[in-house]
Amino acid sequence: MPLLAVNDIHTYYGHIYALKGISLTVEQGEVVTLIGSNGAGKTTTLKTISGLLHPRQGTVDLEGERISGLAPHLIVSKGIGQSPEGRQIFTRLTVMENLEMGAYSRKDKEGIQKDLDHVMKLFPRLAERRSQAGGTLSGGEQQMLAMGRALMTRPRVLMLDEPSMGLAPVLVDTIFDIIKALNEEGVTILLVEQNATRALSVANRGYVLETGRIILEGNAKELAENEQVRKAYLGEE
């Protein structure tokens, strides 16, 4: 049984038919990536999994338990943590307050402190800036904060939506090093990323989306070597 199973989901924005029968799985301990051009349905897929959008048809299961149809905060409590596109941190709250917000539904004080310590070790920049307002951080630091806040939910599946967007190349390297480190610690990751080359370099498997449909799937090495993927998403002629 996969840890996360998305089964034939059809999702709309009003009358716009955005997802047209998406099915995918994520196994325990994997990094699975969704790649595709803007408007392909990558973020919509994550929003449907997290309960921000409800599919008109199809289901989402977490280790065999149906989570589609639940309120977003309940889905978080079940084990889906998300670092959203554009970071969406609380700009007026401090770094520490942002991280504490990630654990708002948890009651295990010792566990929360342990996870805070772990996030600070994982992201030393956040430890240095723990008392700064989130809005005063650089783009890379805000991305680290968004990821740290998602980790504070203690997710069974960590969903990362465009973690390298708008970052300088050196910070992109840092973010992908952190993704690899998290996975080596056993964190299961569903990654949406415009930078297909980097996404496939850290993933075990991938799905290629185009206009709301999955057109290709396979292990990351196969996709990186696929001529169609190389031309469309890896910038090769």
- pLDDT level of residue 205 (50, 70, 90 thresholds): very high
Q: How many CA atoms lie within 13 A of 50 on its CB side?
A: 22
User: In this model, does residue 237 exceed pLDDT 70?
Assistant: no
Q: What is the DSSP string of 27-62?
A: -TT-EEEEE--TTSSHHHHHHHHHTSS--SEEEEEE
What does the chain come to in residues?
A: 237
CA distance 24 to 200: 16
Tokens of 94: 């401090």
Q: How far apart are the first and last CA of the chain?
A: 40
Q: What is the pLDDT of residue 167?
A: 84
Return the higher-pLDDT residue of 105 and 72: 72
CA distance 146 to 86: 9
Residue 100 domain flag = no
Residue 96 domain flag = no
Q: What is the pLDDT of residue 52?
A: 95
Q: What is the pLDDT of residue 200?
A: 95
Tokens of 128: 């240095």
User: In this model, does residue 218 exceed pLDDT 90?
Assistant: yes
**Amino acid code (one letter) for 163:** P
Domain that holds residue 194: 4-86+154-233
Q: Which of 89, 92, 157, 156 is nearest to 123 (CA)?
A: 89
Q: What is the pLDDT of residue 235?
A: 63
Residue 82 domain flag = yes
CATH number, domain containing residue 180: 3.40.50.300
Tokens of 43: 């973020």
Tokens of 10: 């059809």
Residue 20 domain flag = yes
Tokens of 179: 């993704």
Characterize the bridge pairing of strands 16-26 and 4-13: antiparallel
Residue listed under structure tokens 């998403």? 233
Q: Each residue of 36-46: pLDDT tens digit?
A: 988 899 999 99
Distance of CA 196 to CAs 44, 76, 202, Å?
A: 18, 27, 10
Asked if residues 205 and 46 have their Cβ atoms less than 8 Å apart, the reply is: no
The pTM of the full predicted model, rounded to 2 decimals, is: 0.92
Q: Domains in the chain: how many in total?
A: 1
- pLDDT level of residue 23 (50, 70, 90 thresholds): very high
**Worst-scoring range by mean pLDDT, 70-79, 125-134, 162-171?**
162-171
State the sign of the Cα–Cα–Cα–Cα dihedral 183, 153, 164, 8. positive
Q: Each residue of 138-180: pLDDT tens digit?
A: 988 999 999 999 999 999 999 999 998 888 888 889 899 999 9
Residue 197 domain flag = yes
Q: What is the pLDDT of residue 236?
A: 58
